[in-house]
């Protein structure tokens, strides 16, 4: 999840200090890392989150939080952003509207790759489908950030191995938020 956020923002989004980034779906696992990494870089972070996750998204460092259950993000973001990272399971029409929030030369990076990322060539906005790749060096950088207290890993719950089927069932129903650690039995 951390690698996905890292590669989206920096390999593809080329996000730098002072830029504006919209993280759509910041209430989830990838989004939570993305908000922290973007803020650490010195970007202005706009995040969408439902009331359930808005506090954690603010704590992660978002400068602005848009409640996607009450407002369309396209109506809430009034100044162009440099990068949009979409990690939310929105519908294709909502995804198609996101390039309209981006300045010329900016990018939309999308992780929900069952819908191709739209571009707006007329206005110089590029859509990128992200497929995370393993990268030991980047992972080591993320671990170093965690060790320095600059990246927080939200552990929502610890679950005994015997309860793994129940955990999977809850996850499939959308009832698991954040990282769950599965604990093996002690010998
Ligand atoms: N392509 C790749 O290589 C790759 C890699 C990793 C993940 N992914 C994909 O990336 C997506 C995000 O992963 P994740 O683990 O972060 O998922 P997740 O934990 O389920 O997070 C998604 C979050 O989106 C928020 N959301 C739901 N509906 C929304 C809406 N209409 N507008 C804005 N936000 C909304 C929800 O938070 P609130 O309702 O609390 O706001 C939810 O927690 C998943 O679809 C996953 O499959 C792709």
**Distance between CA atoms of 129 and 115, rounded to whole angstroms?**
9
* Domain, as residue range, for 172: 154-187
- Nearest-CA residue for ligand 1 atom 48 is 111
* Domain annotation covers residue 144: no
We report the CATH number of the domain holding residue 46 as 3.40.50.720
Residues 108, 172 within the same domain: no
Q: What is the pLDDT of residues 102-150, one digit of tens each?
A: 999 999 999 999 999 999 999 999 999 999 999 999 999 999 999 999 9
* pLDDT at residue 174, rounded to an integer: 80
Q: Distance from the CA of 187 to the center of ligand 1, in angstroms?
A: 37
Residues 53, 94 within the same domain: yes
Residues 23, 114 within the same domain: yes
* pLDDT at residue 170, rounded to an integer: 94
Q: Which residue among 5, 26, 84, 89 is best mutated to probe the pocket of ligand 1, counting the most ligand atoms within 8 A of its Cβ?
A: 89
* pLDDT at residue 154, rounded to an integer: 81
Is the CB–ligand 1 distance for residue 49 below 6 Å? yes
* Atom from ligand 1 closest to the CA of residue 24: 33
Q: What is the pLDDT of residues 48-105, one digit of tens each?
A: 999 999 999 999 999 999 999 999 999 999 999 999 999 999 999 999 999 999 999 9
Q: What is the pLDDT of residues 146-186, one digit of tens each?
A: 999 999 988 889 999 999 999 999 989 988 877 889 999 98
Residues 42, 117 within the same domain: yes
Is the CB–ligand 1 distance for residue 133 below 6 Å? no
Q: Are 79 and 100 contacting, i.e. CB atoms less than 8 angstroms apart?
A: no
- pTM equals 0.92
Q: Distance from the CA of 30 to the center of ligand 1, in angstroms?
A: 7
**Distance between CA atoms of 107 and 82, rounded to whole angstroms?**
7
* Atom from ligand 1 closest to the CA of residue 113: 1
């Amino acid at each position: 999840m951390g690698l996905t956020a890292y590669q989206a923002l920096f390999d593809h989004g080329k996000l730098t200090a002072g830029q504006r980034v919209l993280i759509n779906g910041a209430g989830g696992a990838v989004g939570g890392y993305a908000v922290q990494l973007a803020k650490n870089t010195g970007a202005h972070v706009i995040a969408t989150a439902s009331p359930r996750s808005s506090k954690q998204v603010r704590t992660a460092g978002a400068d602005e939080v848009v409640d996607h259950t009450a407002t369309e993000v396209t109506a809430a973001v009034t100044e162009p952003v440099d990068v949009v990272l979409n990690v939310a399971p929105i519908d294709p029409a909502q995804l198609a509207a996101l390039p309209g929030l981006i300045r010329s030369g900016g990018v939309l990076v999308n992780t929900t790759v069952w819908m191709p990322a739209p571009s707006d060539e007329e206005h110089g906005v590029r859509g990128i489908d992200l497929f995370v790749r393993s990268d030991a060096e980047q992972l080591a950088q993320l671990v170093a950030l965690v060790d320095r207290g600059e990246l927080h890993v939200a552990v929502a719950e610890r679950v005994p191995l015997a309860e793994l089927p129940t955990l999977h069932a809850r996850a499939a129903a959308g009832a698991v938020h954040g990282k769950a650690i599965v604990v093996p039995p002690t010998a």
